[in-house]
Amino acid sequence: MNLNQQLITRFYTALNKADFKTIQDCYHDDAVFFDPVFQDLNSAEVRDMWEMLCKSAKNFSVVFSEVIADKEYGTCKWIAHYAFSQTGKKVINNVKAYFKFHEGKIIEHTDHFDLWKWSRQALGLPGWILGWNEVLQKKIRKKAQDNLATFMQAKAAVTY
């Protein structure tokens, strides 16, 4: 297993334990993140996103597989099982992750998953009916971004 495969393994092992500090340490200082919900996060935002998600996780577990990496790029598949915090509904999210590495850390991280499938599980009937629709998807993104901004503001207030 090469160093970048070890880094991916370290990341998802930590995620399974909700160990946000180890996850944060896997990212480069100039890291960026993108997925269907949390789009275009900078390094501080992605670190706080994982902290927020780890701290709010209920009945959470991760299984990862097919870890492939070379000196610059990597991928893996991972499946998250959890209860969505806003509804309590059980979610099984199948994700394909793509990474770019720099200086032994993750500098670019993109997760791909089906937002409509996620919304059907997490939101129930509204997700089934409207989860494919860009209007509901924008609402999901806005709520997630607002939650992250609130989390970051609360964290900053404690720090100062």
pLDDT tens digits, residue range 1-45?
A: 899 999 999 999 999 999 999 999 999 999 999 999 999 999 999
- Residue 31: name the closest of 110, 106, 112, 111 by CA: 106
- Select 3-114's CATH number: 3.10.450.50, 3.40.640.10, 3.30.70.260, 3.90.700.10: 3.10.450.50
Cβ neighbours around 12 below 10 Å, total: 20
Band the pLDDT of 126: cuts 50, 70, 90. Answer: confident
So what's the pLDDT on residue 159? 62
Model confidence over 38-92: pLDDT tens digits? 999 999 999 999 999 999 988 999 999 999 999 999 999 999 999 998 898 999 9
So what's the pLDDT on residue 63? 98
Model confidence over 91-107: pLDDT tens digits? 999 999 999 999 999 99
So what's the pLDDT on residue 85? 85
Q: Where are the domains of the chain?
A: 3-114
Amino acid at 64: F
